[in-house]
Chains A and B, each alone.
Chain A
Amino acid sequence: MPEENRRRGVIAYLQVLPTWMVLGIFFVLPLVIMLVISFGQRGTYGGLKPIEDLWAYVSAGGFLANYRRSIEPLYLSIYWRSLWMAVVTTLLCLVVSYPIAYYIAVVAPARFKNLLLGLVVIPFWTSFLIRTYAWMLILRTEGLLNSVLLGAGVTDQPLNLLYTDFAVMIGLVYGELPFMILPLYASLEKLDLGLLEASLDLGANKVATFFRVTVPLTMPGIVAGIILVFIPSIGQFVVSDLLGGAKSILAGNLIQNQFAIARNKPFGAAIAFELTAVVLVLLFAYAMYTKRKGQEVLL
């Protein structure tokens, strides 16, 4: 009924109105302001340099100066490093998470599933900063791990674990693990074991069954997990500051430095928008993929 549809339409508009108001004013608008700022230049003391002749500035392409600077080799190497770190983190998470998600979804007795899942999530409920600090206590020269290793006689010199890439990786994987386990679990739970049996019956061995039946069937969960882990990993900076000894600059540190230290807001904004653009491209690819498969997108 057209009247019913119109009523439905009105109700729907009313339902999204608060969202649009909040997001429109306190999200979209600030971002637009930031975008405008990214076309500006840093003033002598931070802040913005006033532009005398707007038309000349725009037509000369001056407004793209920050974007041009941001693709200089120095910065490209930083993005590359961030990308690489995010990829490794995501892969590690995937490899570590799949077996445990499989265990909870398929192997564990039904009455324990919720408990086991809850146990995965509970560490997530403590302060992220404090969990990272706990890793510092574990990994430092006079920390727990070294005390145990020295005491047990495994090594005679304390290992230099803190302030290394290794420590940063541990911190990152640690923080992102639940975000990979949960989507994997969701997919694995829906897995029809009968299909696996059929595959085995038809002569495939277990390895082949895994890669040619299980993995494709759980691909939605894998992809969702990859997205949920990859995106925050690209933009993070706290873990590399605390556990990495602030020795490396990742994209997140770069942006933070521009805003907090170099006080070059326009440049920082430009980098930030580029980072966002990369993520958007990835998400677009994901949307294309799910559309092709005819499955529901995340939202």
Chain B
Amino acid sequence: MNRTKTTLSALLGATVLVAGLAGCARKADDAPAATQAKDAGKLNIYIWSAYLPKEVIDKFSAQTGIQVNFDVYDSNEALLEKLQSGVADYDLVVPSDYMVKILVAEKLIQPIDHAKLPNIANLDPRFLDKKFDPKNQYSLPYFWGTTGFGYNKAKLGTLDSWQAIFDPKNKGRILMLDDMREVFGATLKSMGKSLNETDPAVLKQAADLLKKQKKLVATYNSGDFANILAAGDVDIAHGYNGQLAEVVAKEPEKLAYVVPKEGATLWMDNVCLPAKARNVENAYKFLNYIMEAEVNAEIVNGVSYASANVPAKKFISPEILNDPSIYPSDEVIGRCEFLEDIGDTTTLLDEYWTEIKAQ
């Protein structure tokens, strides 16, 4: 019948189109495994967006024959949710400092056997043995950095204090991270308090400050903050140092990044092994691989965040190494604090955060 032929040829055409697009993807998938035997196994990585250059993964696959899959997340909570579900099949995850403690408490990650990682000697002792994971039983540093703010110095001059984000002069030109801990953290620091304050009276003061500040804020954004600053939508952007350093480097006369004198968040993202990981040996191989000096330098050069690897510094590009936003001095680090989980106070904070946003 005429109609059957038309339908069939139409379906055929559509299938060809679909297969064409899918075929390109299949080719991309097959490439790394082509060289070695399939028995080398798999490795499933769950990591922050843009934290791992593809070239590094490809080289690893080519060297070991291990097929690497990786998925990305954009918040620690998303990571926690996936691990808590008990059915996400990852072998390597990269939680932030406070999340490590939570994952340990929830028994979602397993201890790391240091003996299996000869390259551990490359790690900078200044970043080891922190409060959230004494003796690094469960985690090893991947990247570290600060949360300050980037700003338009051509327009605003040199800024050095958190008061800038509360200044009515900057109304409608401020960006804050869409992260309640970080926003409260900045406020608490501006009040001279600790990031991990649990005193309800202090938190209420901070919340009131933030409610007043809200009309000065153009947008809350945790991902695109650097580009929004660079695009000129705002003059001050609260954000993480790596991405801000990148845009500052492109326009050094116009933009700048600062860790305010009152102090800021020092954050560290760490590699961990999920308790239910199925390809543990491959995970160790990968961990050891990314701690090699040259490989680590390649990652740092690709992502513009600082790693805790000492020998890698020989191979890291000088622009990054000498950039005080990425590798700040000890004095700056001294002003900063790690975020820690505040347990049940999280609910109170969330309530304040909701009130602020609901205005």
Instruction: Give A contacts to B, CB under 8 Å.
Output: 42, 44-47, 74-75, 77-78, 81, 140-142, 160, 162-163, 241, 245-249, 253-254, 257-264
Q: Are B354 and A140 in contact (CB under 8 A)?
A: no
Q: A140-B233, A162-B233, A260-B81 are in contact. Are A44 and B358 (CB under 8 A)?
A: no
A145 to chain B, nearest CB (A): 13
- Interface 1/0s, chain B 326-359, versus A by CB < 8 A? 0000000000000001011011001101110110
Q: Is B272 an interface residue (CB 8 A)?
A: no
Chain A residues lying within 8 Å of B219, measured Cβ to Cβ, are 162-163, 245-247
Q: Is B105 an interface residue (CB 8 A)?
A: yes
List 7 A-B pairs, Cβ < 8 Å.
Answer: A140-B233, A142-B232, A142-B233, A246-B178, A247-B214, A262-B347, A264-B347
Q: A42-B347, A46-B80, A246-B219 are in contact. Are A74 and B75 (CB under 8 A)?
A: no
Chain A residues lying within 8 Å of B178, measured Cβ to Cβ, are 241, 246
Chain A residues lying within 8 Å of B357, measured Cβ to Cβ, are 246-249, 253
Chain B residues lying within 8 Å of A260, measured Cβ to Cβ, are 75, 77-78, 81
Q: Is B217 an interface residue (CB 8 A)?
A: yes
Q: 9 new A-B pairs (CB below 8 Å) besides A74-B351, A75-B354?
A: A45-B341, A47-B84, A74-B354, A160-B218, A245-B217, A247-B217, A247-B219, A259-B81, A261-B180
* CB < 8 Å neighbour of A142 from B81, B231, B351: B231
Q: In the complex, how many residues of chain B place their beta carbon closer than 8 angstroms to a beta carbon of chain A?
A: 33
Q: Are A249 and B350 in contact (CB under 8 A)?
A: no
* CB < 8 Å neighbour of B233 from A141, A247, A257, A258: A141
Q: Is B106 an interface residue (CB 8 A)?
A: yes
Chain A residues lying within 8 Å of B350, measured Cβ to Cβ, are 257-258, 261-262, 264
A137 to chain B, nearest CB (A): 10
Chain B residues lying within 8 Å of A262, measured Cβ to Cβ, are 346-347, 350
CA of A74 to CA of B219, assembled, Å: 21
A266 to chain B, nearest CB (A): 11
Chain B residues lying within 8 Å of A246, measured Cβ to Cβ, are 178, 219-221, 357
Chain B residues lying within 8 Å of A44, measured Cβ to Cβ, are 105, 343-344
B310 to chain A, nearest CB (A): 34
Q: Are B231 and A141 in contact (CB under 8 A)?
A: yes
Chain A residues lying within 8 Å of B346, measured Cβ to Cβ, are 262-263
Q: Are B172 and A160 in contact (CB under 8 A)?
A: yes
CA of A257 to CA of B350, assembled, Å: 9
Q: Is B102 an interface residue (CB 8 A)?
A: yes
A97 to chain B, nearest CB (A): 30
Chain B residues lying within 8 Å of A140, measured Cβ to Cβ, are 231, 233
Residue in B80, B233, B341, B344 with the greatest tally of chain A CB atoms within 10 Å? B233
- Interface 1/0s, chain B 59-82, versus A by CB < 8 A? 000000000000000010110110
B121 to chain A, nearest CB (A): 33
CA of A241 to CA of B178, assembled, Å: 10
Chain A residues lying within 8 Å of B347, measured Cβ to Cβ, are 42, 262, 264
Chain A residues lying within 8 Å of B180, measured Cβ to Cβ, are 261
Chain A residues lying within 8 Å of B355, measured Cβ to Cβ, are 74
Chain A residues lying within 8 Å of B233, measured Cβ to Cβ, are 140-142, 162-163
A120 to chain B, nearest CB (A): 23
Q: Are B75 and A261 in contact (CB under 8 A)?
A: yes
Closest Cβ neighbor of A158 among chain B residues: B232
Residue in B77, B105, B353 with the greatest tally of chain A CB atoms within 10 Å? B77
Closest Cβ neighbor of A253 among chain B residues: B357
CA of A258 to CA of B81, assembled, Å: 12
Q: Which 10 A-B pairs have the closest CB atoms?
A: A245-B219, A262-B350, A246-B220, A249-B357, A163-B219, A141-B233, A249-B358, A45-B102, A246-B178, A163-B218
